[in-house]
Amino acid sequence: MKNFLYLICLLSFCFGGCDSKIRVENTRGQPTLMEDPQTTGAVAGVGVESQDIISITDKMMRDILATSAITQHPEPPRVVIDSSYFRNESSSVINKNLFTDRLRIELNRAAAGKMVFLARHQSGMTENEYKLEQEEVVTEGTQGETKQALGYDYRLGGRIASLDMVDPKKGTMSRYHQITFELIERGSGVIVWSNIYELKKSAQDDIIYR
């Protein structure tokens, strides 16, 4: 009987001690990790991500370079690629400049003089300098008098639209994006090039969040 009591007491101490808690999770954290922007990262949802932007702009760039109506001019056409006429009508919060900057820079590098790109997104820079030169505040550059800003031949327009679907029973969310790009001729409004890119993602949160 005594031994039984001693055993119970010993077990009680063990149970009492075993249930000690760690108040704060003592994780070491994670050191800085370089991730490939062309792959899905550690943080991912159903919106537009880095790998989508890279994939879309690469495809558009190759397609524009393959369009002879743009690249086979006797004189290289002037093209404006910025986000002024690129609308986001989707449910993804996006900085549109991520698309247009990448497209413009990659095209500029790959076009090898077949197209000339105008920096309309930096128009304030050239206008201010021109004004200062006219007011004789600054001298002209080593290349001669400051040139007047050039007009463009083609300008980029486009739209990002999306369609969302949810399954309330399973807690699954799905988003379809449709991204359209068009190069529009100045004056006539003719669409000389266009392309469309589609992507669809679906995901389901862990059960503890449903």
Partner 1 sequence: MKNNISKLICSTILIILFAAVVCDAYWKSNKPNNATFNGISALDNKSKSMKLDSHILCSNETDQESIKVLEESYKKLEVSPIESRPRYAAEIGICALLSNDVNLAENALDYSITNIENITTAGVREQKVTSTKGSEEQKIFKGEPHEKVMVYLYRGMLYMAKGDYENSQACFKNAALQDALAANESDRSNWLTIDLLQLVCKRLMKDSDEKDFETYIRQKYSGETALIEPMLNCLEPNLVILVSVGRVPEKIASDSHGQTLAYSNSDSIIHTVCLTTNQGTLVLSETDDLYVQATSRGKRKMDDILAQKANKRKTIEAVGDAAAAAAPLVPGGIALCLVKELSWSASDGIKSSADCRTIRSIGQKLYLFIGNKFQLGQPLKLQAINVDKEVIAEKTIKIDNGSSVPTVIVGRVPY
Q: Which residues contact 86 (CB under 8 A, 6 or more apart)?
A: 96, 99, 100, 156, 157, 158, 159, 160, 181
Other residues' Cβ atoms within 10 Å of the Cβ of residue 154: 23
The residue from 75, 135, 136, 206 that contacts partner 1 (CB under 8 A) is 206
Query: CB of 179: closest distance to partner 1 in angstroms?
Result: 14
* 86-120: b (≥16 Cβ within 10 Å) or e: bebebebebeeebbbbbbbebbbeebeeebebbee
- Using rule CB under 8 A, residue 22 touches partner 1: no
Does 156 contact partner 1 by CB under 8 A? no
Q: How far is the CB of 9 from partner 1 (least distance, A)?
A: 5
Residue 8 near partner 1 by CB under 8 A: yes
What does the radius of gyration of the chain's CA atoms come to, in whole angstroms?
29
Judged by CB under 8 A, does residue 171 bind partner 1? yes
User: Does the footprint of partner 1 cover residue 33 (CB under 8 A)?
Assistant: no
Q: How far is CA 109 from the centre of its chain?
A: 19
User: Which member of 72, 74, 89, 137 binds partner 1 (CB under 8 A)?
Assistant: 89
Residues 64/106, Cβ–Cβ less than 8 Å: no
Our finding on whether 93 is near partner 1 (CB under 8 A) is yes
CB 102 within 8 A of CB 53: yes
Single out the residue of 3, 4, 28, 32 in contact with partner 1 (rule: CB under 8 A): 4
Rule CB under 8 A: choose which of 12, 123, 128, 134 binds partner 1.
Answer: 12
CA–CA separation, 63 and 19 (whole Å)? 64
CB of 209 to partner 1, least distance (A): 6
Q: Does 23 bind partner 1 (CB under 8 A)?
A: yes
Which residue ranges make up the site for partner 1 (CB under 8 A)? 1-2, 4-6, 8-9, 11-13, 15-16, 19-21, 23-25, 27, 43-47, 87-94, 96, 164, 166, 168, 171, 173, 203-210
